[in-house]
Amino acid sequence: MTSSHIAKKQDLPPTAWAVLGLLSFPGERTGYELKKWADSSLRFFYWSPAISQIYAELRRLEELGYASSARSGPEELRTKRRYAITAAGREALAAWAADTAEAGPPVLKHGLLLRIWLGHLSEPERLRTLVVEHLEHTRGHTRGELAAVREAMAHAAGVPEWAFPALALRWAERRHLAELELAEALLEDLAEAARRERARPEGAERQAGGDAPTPG
Amino acid sequence: MTSSHIAKKQDLPPTAWAVLGLLSFPGERTGYELKKWADSSLRFFYWSPAISQIYAELRRLEELGYASSARSGPEELRTKRRYAITAAGREALAAWAADTAEAGPPVLKHGLLLRIWLGHLSEPERLRTLVVEHLEHTRGHTRGELAAVREAMAHAAGVPEWAFPALALRWAERRHLAELELAEALLEDLAEAARRERARPEGAERQAGGDAPTPG
DNA sequence: TTGCCCATGTAATTTGTTACATGATTTA
DNA sequence: TAAATCATGTAACAAATTACATGGGCAA
């Protein structure tokens, strides 16, 4: 590292900051533990990287001096390697967290909505099924996952360290409810559109109208 | 069709399907047009690829026989190239759209929430500011963008082709409102947490409690 | 005549995933 | 003792972005 490489601070990929963020909580952890933890926290509002990438980011963070690690056994064996955040790492992370411009607007990738948008390709009945399945999955699986996190969180109730993760969890739970309401409203809109379609003059079903001017 | 060649079900990246989806609406379009259109539609519930990637996907789709293109001028000049979906493309896209398993749960990447989760790194005041800025941006900028799309959409009111994009837009608008409510509730939770913090016994502010058992 | 929007593309790079290889420790 | 889970890593690849190169048409 020569002077030409001087500290281009603060432009690490989101994953690096997320991993460093996990390390910013008290205690030392292995990459494996970090992955499991990310799966039950970050995943609900950010995202959980592959385990191989977590190891890669940990190596990078250590190179940057943002994290330090210690093996639990002799070097030759592939023993546990526990990571901890350094003072420099904590400082860099705090600077990043305070940067509002960096955050940008939230990004959503919703496969169901893309399919709705492309509704002209599917049977109306199939479309309805897609939404219903999404509703069921959200009401069942997703809800269960959040409940499990909520329960694990109860242990740490009142511990100031976990106040903010608790806040984020609450947000995720409310978001979960909003997602359900959104899907229910969509289902109604779909039904209404189907009603309107049936009421339309005969013989005019889904032909292409030549060149359309592509609205949103 | 021997069993060794079973179905080889086209598994293309999401971007390819999204681009093909844009092409599935009547009319032929250039890559440039597709990009602008994606920015004002897909972006609100899926995502809008870089222009260079759109060109790359268009090439791939043409190779696969899912799209065809025609130049508007002589080959040597870099003239406009307009793309259209083929019958095979339409069929493949419809199959993909009907595949519920493929969709998976929606993915969210919310920078603000990551920062809230890491709230122990920031001054409470700064944290509040972050949420307020998000609220303002959502109420102003994001809202304006949706309104613009809504207006453009009004042109095509009643045209059956655009019924589903209109449905998706409605979903995006409702989601926008939910996002605002979520942020407002978060602001309240933040204020409440600050009140509780002030009420706590003195001398116990934000020290690390040794090893904590990492709840969610 | 400068600058912006239209329009297409290449190259370099980064980011992230899946598949694979390896072995220790715990639990049924 | 077989299995699942813990644990670390490499290799190959795919996905996606940014930066760059090029040039036409149009409007202030």
DSSP letter for each residue of A51-82: HHHHHHHHHHHHHTTSEEEEESS-TTS---EE
What Å value separates CA B30 and C1' C4? 20
Same domain, A115 and A95: no
Taking only the tens place, the pLDDT of each residue in A10-46 is 689 999 999 999 999 999 999 999 999 999 999 999 9
**Residues, chain B, total?**
216
Same domain, A94 and A115: no
Q: Of A69, A100, A131, which residue sits at a domain end?
A: A100
Closest CA to A24 of A87, A98, A99, A101: A87
Measured between alpha carbons, how far is residue B89 from residues A63, A91, B15 in Å?
47, 51, 14
Q: Please give the pLDDT value at position B78.
A: 66
Q: Which residues of B touch A149 (CB under 8 A)?
A: 215-216
Residue A211 within any structural domain of the chain: no
d(CA A110, CA A134): 11
Q: Please give the pLDDT value at position A72.
A: 76
Cβ atoms B85, B20 nearer than 8 A: yes
Closest CA to B111 of A95, A144, A46: A46
d(CA A208, CA A134): 30
Same domain, B96 and B134: no
Residue B62 within any structural domain of the chain: yes
Measured between alpha carbons, how far is residue B50 from residues B55, B133, B208 in Å?
9, 27, 43
pTM assigned to the model: 0.90
Scanning every strand, the nucleotide with its C1' closest to B50's CA turns out to be D17
Residue B79 within any structural domain of the chain: yes
Q: Please give the pLDDT value at position A75.
A: 58
Q: For the ranges A92-106, A124-138, A173-187, B196-210, which has the lowest average pLDDT? A: B196-210
pLDDT band at A7 (very low <50, low <70, confident <90, very high): very low
Tell me the CATH number at B78: 1.10.10.10
Q: Tell me the residues of chain A between 57 and 86 that have a Cβ less than 8 Å away from chain B.
A: none
State which residues form the domain around B131: 111-199
Touching check for A124 and chain B: CB below 8 Å? no
Q: Please give the pLDDT value at position B93.
A: 97
Q: Residues A191-195: what's their mean pLDDT?
A: 92
Choose from B40, B110, B133 for mutation: most chain A CBs within 10 A: B110
Cβ atoms B82, B29 nearer than 8 A: yes
Taking only the tens place, the pLDDT of each residue in B41-86 is 999 999 999 999 999 999 999 999 999 999 876 655 568 999 999 9
Closest CA to A138 of A170, A181, A98, A95: A181
Same domain, B167 and B89: no
Closest CA to A22 of A40, A37, A44: A37
What's the token pair of residue B185? 């509730």
Q: How many angstroms away from the CA of A86 is the closest CA of chain B?
A: 14
Residue type, position B155, single letter: H
**Residues, chain A, total?**
216
Give the largest CA-CA distance in chain A: 80
Q: Tell me the residues of chain B between 98 and 117 that have a Cβ less than 8 Å away from chain A.
A: 98, 100, 102-117
Same domain, A144 and A87: no
Same domain, A151 and A85: no
Q: Which residues contact A93 (CB under 8 A, 6 or more apart)?
A: A17, A20, A21, A24, A66, A85, B118, B121
Same domain, A86 and A120: no
Checking if the pLDDT of A208 tops 60, the result is: no
Q: Residue B48, SS3?
A: coil
Same domain, B116 and B63: no
Checking if the pLDDT of A167 tops 90, the result is: yes
Q: Of A35, A68, A100, which residue sits at a domain end?
A: A100
Q: Please give the pLDDT value at position A76.
A: 56
Q: Which residues contact A85 (CB under 8 A, 6 or more apart)?
A: A20, A23, A24, A66, A67, A93
Residue-averaged pLDDT of chain B: 88
Structural domains of chain B, count? 2
Angle, CA of B211, A47 and A54, to the nearest 5°: 60
Is nucleic acid strand C under 7 Å from B109's C-beta?
no
Same domain, B129 and B52: no
What's the token pair of residue B161? 């082709």
Checking if the pLDDT of A211 tops 70, the result is: no
Q: B165-199 burial, b for 16+ CB within 10 Å, e for fewer? A: bbbbbbbbbbbbebbbebbeebbebbeebeeeeee
Angle, CA of A189, A141 and B21, to the nearest 5°: 45
Say which residue, B3 or A30, is predicted with more confidence: A30
CB contacts < 8 A (A, B) = 298
Say which residue, A105 or A2, is predicted with more confidence: A105
Question: Which 47-66 positions of A have CB less than 7 A from strand C?
Answer: 47-53, 56
Taking only the tens place, the pLDDT of each residue in B131-189 is 999 999 999 999 999 999 999 998 888 888 899 999 999 999 999 999 999 999 999 99
Phi-psi category of residue A206: left, alpha or beta, with phi > 0 → left and psi -120 to 50 → alpha: left
d(CA A171, CA A89): 27
Angle, CA of B95, B97 and B103, to the nearest 5°: 120
d(CA B194, CA B167): 41
Q: Of A100, A127, A157, which residue sits at a domain end?
A: A100
pLDDT band at A155 (very low <50, low <70, confident <90, very high): confident
- Beta-strand relationship, B107-109 and A107-109: antiparallel
Q: Please give the pLDDT value at position B9.
A: 55
d(CA B94, CA A3): 55
